[in-house]
Amino acid sequence: MKYKMLVLDMDDTLLTDDHTISEENRKMLAQAKALGVHIVLASGRPTPAMVEYARDLGLMDSYMISFNGAVITDLKNDEVIFEQSLTQEQIHALYDYSQEKKTHIITYLDGKVISETHSEYIDVEVTITGLEHEVVPSFKERVQSSAIKCILLEEPSYLKEVETDLKATMPHLSICMSKPFFLEAAQTGIDKGASVKFLADRLNILQSEVIAVGNAGNDLSMIEYAGLGVWVANVDTHLRDKADVIVASNNDHGVAEVIERFIL
């Protein structure tokens, strides 16, 4: 099979634990790109927190999926070709739910992370994205418009229970875990898999010609969509049987292994 698109989750997949790209991954990505393979970064990160990585890898002539599939950007033309947001009412409902369940909640407005609270888990998101953290007296008063997504944050074992309840309480939303302490909520039908399909159709690439690589629950939809779904070895344990292949971990150049085995 000749694969034409390689879709890569970023954190804990393409990136090492210190949020860098290994030389092994970098070298193999350059070789895949030279063969004409479309390399697409697909992350839960906000768009601004992905662009420098795309530029560093020479992917500014490609496409990028951000916010867990809620935004697709044509980097060559600096154009958003798909975007779907939560309504203000949905965000306020998620806030009320978070208060009931005693979790932290964040959203993104004006290029900032917005919350009412401080938390070690929010600090992780601020560090990963590099965005300014605006702590506000009233979340609902600050959020008077639509926004791309929300994240509920809390201790992992408790948040797993919240995930089950939230899916039952708000079945109209797309709910997934991107890290053990990040429970993400987006608009109906929004996930990485749907956006990978949108992009593949746009580029006349068959489902069977797509490889997707990830490590967490928010990657599952694209792993299941792709012709070849791949987990890196540090995948969440309960997901291990959901992919076609498991390769080396994010710290051991798993992406490079995928390219060497299935593209070169």
Rounded CA separation 226/54 (Å): 21
Asked whether the beta carbons of 215 and 221 are under 8 A apart, the reply is no
Structure tokens at 169: 């309480």
Rounded CA separation 188/142 (Å): 23
Structure tokens at 155: 């201790």
Contacts of 192 (CB under 8 A, 6+ apart): 7, 9, 42, 65, 68, 69, 212, 214, 218, 219, 221, 222
Residue of 9, 12, 191, 236 with catalytic role: 9
Rounded CA separation 83/10 (Å): 20
The closest alpha carbon to 153, from 116, 108, 119, belongs to 119
Kindly provide the b/e burial profile for residues 118-146, where b requires at least 16 CB atoms within 10 angstroms of the residue's own CB.
ebebbeebbebbebebeeeeebeebbeeb
Please indicate whether residue 9 is annotated as part of the active site: yes
Q: So which residues are the catalytic ones?
A: 9
